[in-house]
Amino acid sequence: MALGGGTFVAQNKVLPGAYINFVSLAAASATLSDRGIATMPLELDWGVEGAVFEVTNADFQKNSMKIFGYSFDHEKMKGLRDLFMNITTLYAYRLNGGGNKATNTYATAKFGGVRGNDLKIVIQKNVDDESMFDVKTVLGSTVVDTQTVAKAADLVANDFVTWKTAELAVTAGIALEGGANGTVDGSAHQNYLDKIEAYSFNALGVVTKEESIKGLYESFVKRLRDEVGAKFQAVLYNKAADYEGVINVKNKITDEGWDESCLVYWVTGIAAGCAVNKSNLNKIYDGEFTVDVDYTQTQLTKAIQAGEFVLHQIGSDVRVLEDINSLVTTSDTKGDIFKDNQTIRVIDQIANDIAVLFNTKYLGVVPNDAAGRISLWTDIVKHHEQMQDIRAIEDFSDEDVTVSQGNTKKAVVVNDAVTVVNAMAKLYMTVTIA
């Protein structure tokens, strides 16, 4: 007779044998999540249409031409270079997709947009085999693809064009024509917001002066923070939202050909990329735009009081005056400390990390008994101790966290208290002279 074996739930087996369960270590842990993820809707001359697409910092540096149609060092990429100085990942969306694709006798651009008009197809006889053709795709002055084929049907679509079946003939270069960008309107912005809601990120920025569009984003961040529980900040130009989830950028840029609200690129980057235990207070602007910093001390004081994120000049440097959001009106439950973005980063970190921890490790898995609640308490305490170790919070004790059963057998109630550490901002010194 064979011995018993297999897995077990309860210790109720009859046959002798080895009953062994193999279980995975829980994927979720009480660790701090990384920051540095931003999202922006963009007006582009080239690129993915109708969908959110992910671009890492390495992608941007190595594959900018393929993704955005321009090399990394091109003038058109100036705003994105400002953004990527401080982020690791961008969830981008092309607002002006859906335009016409440039085309010629041999090829059609992969995406709609005016950048497709800078493509051309060069066809030459192969020097080693006169029956073959070298077919080059050229963007601007850069050869982006070369294929050697006998006929057009042998050509394989590349990152820039798809091919037609016209008979190949030698040509010094035939340009693609008719490419056009799509229209940007409120619907384009709403389509982006509908799609980006499913993603997790630290900051959202939008380059615009239009009040109606800024209002759309203000409503979006308020709904997601307060009703959905998605914790991030929106970076808007000249928007007095009076809300901790909105960073109100005051300075305009003066570069010809660029929207005056383009400082949003850099501020979105530093808002997303700033560590939970750091502040952007006094950070030097190291981007490429010319920032208008013509403010008096009185105007700077009023800007702080109005909840405006403002850069000012100290010597030859342009620096962040205060790392604040647009919150102005305080209450018993939301005091002055909520005006500071470092505070918001800390509370957002806690909210996001504990939500991920609970939803992936505890929800529907761990029983709501004393042992289960102790396990959750232990994980929350461990998380907070890590935050204290990196000096994001202080004076934390495990007694500051309690986990108890709620009004139903499925509910768990957590009470938590933390003290946020902020960067030094003001020095008051008295020197006594003997």
Question: For residue 392, what pLDDT is reported?
Answer: 85
The answer to whether 393 and 350 are in contact (CB under 8 A) is no
C-alpha dist (Å) from residue 229 to 189, 352, 356, 380: 22, 8, 11, 18
Report the distance separating Cα 391 and Cα 148, nearest Å: 60
Average of per-residue pLDDT across 374-391: 91
Per-residue pLDDT tens for 204-221?
999 999 999 999 999 999
Taken in order of first residue, the domains within the chain and their CATH numbers are: 37-96+183-320 (3.30.1490.450), 107-175 (2.60.40.4290)
User: Which stretch of 129-138, 177-186, 281-290, 417-426 has the lowest confidence by average pLDDT?
Assistant: 417-426
Residue whose structure tokens are 């294929």: 147
Average of per-residue pLDDT across 240-264: 97
The answer to whether 265 and 80 are in contact (CB under 8 A) is yes
pLDDT of 3 strictly over 50: no
Which one is predicted more confidently, 339 or 352?
Answer: 339
**Residue 432 pLDDT level (bands cut at 50, 70, 90):** low
315: which 2 tokens? 């010597």
User: Which stretch of 253-267, 286-300, 386-400 has the lowest confidence by average pLDDT?
Assistant: 386-400
pLDDT of 29 strictly over 70: no
Which one is predicted more confidently, 407 or 430?
Answer: 407
Average of per-residue pLDDT across 387-411: 89
Per-residue pLDDT tens for 293-340?
999 999 999 999 999 999 999 999 999 999 999 999 999 888 899 999
pLDDT of 68 strictly over 90: yes
pLDDT of 2 strictly over 70: no
Report the distance separating Cα 21 and Cα 303, nearest Å: 62
DSSP state of 10: S
- pTM of this structure: 0.87
